[in-house]
Amino acid sequence: MDKATPKIKALVGLGNPSKQYQNTYHNVGRKFVEYFALSKKAVTKFLQPSNKNFQYCQLEDKLLILPLTFMNESGIAVKQAASYFKLKPEEIIVVHDDSDMTLGKYKIVYDQSSAGHHGIQSTINHLKTQKFWRLKIGIRPAQEAVRQKAEKFVLKKISKKDGDCLHQAFDEIIIKL
């Protein structure tokens, strides 16, 4: 992101809301937003507006948003949050796992297709645009002998070692945001 880009006002962490998915690779986006809140000494209690499918936490200059929909329906919550807070798509950065990138790697992109990520496709469909920011965080095992299909590992629990690697990446990313 450079100075010519609009100010990011909201970070949306994609994941599955249920406890059984809490510490899985597919929830890396959600985990990042929660980690971001703690790193900023933010209120750790996220609020939920009436009849909305998301929770939020207000920092000084950023909103942190957690969809309460399952990953494949993320766009419902993103659209509701954008409307509720009067956000333009380009003021939002959607944080999500990326099974094509090695664990701990990350990339910030703008105006890209979903590349098969169902949570992103849902967001594109509901916002009716792909002109929003994305923070893609890699979850693919580094030393795969044979490349696995994403379905084989995205819902597995994050190991302690991988969790440490992700937290290191989270710390690097926070400095850049």
Residues known to be catalytic = 26
Q: Cα–Cα distance between 127 and 42 in angstroms, integer?
A: 28
> What is the phi/psi pair of residue 70, to 5°?
-75, 160
User: 96-108 burial by CB neighbour count: b if 16+ within 10 A, else e?
Assistant: bbbbeeebbbbeb
From residue 21, alpha-carbon distances to 14, 24, 88, 155, 173 in Å are 12, 5, 30, 7, 23
CA distance 86 to 172: 29
Cβ proximity of 137 and 28 under 8 Å: yes
Q: Please classify residue 68 by burial: count the beta carbons closer than 10 Å to its beta carbon, then call 0-12 exposed, 13-18 middle and 19+ buried.
A: middle
DSSP secondary structure code for residue 149 in this structure: P
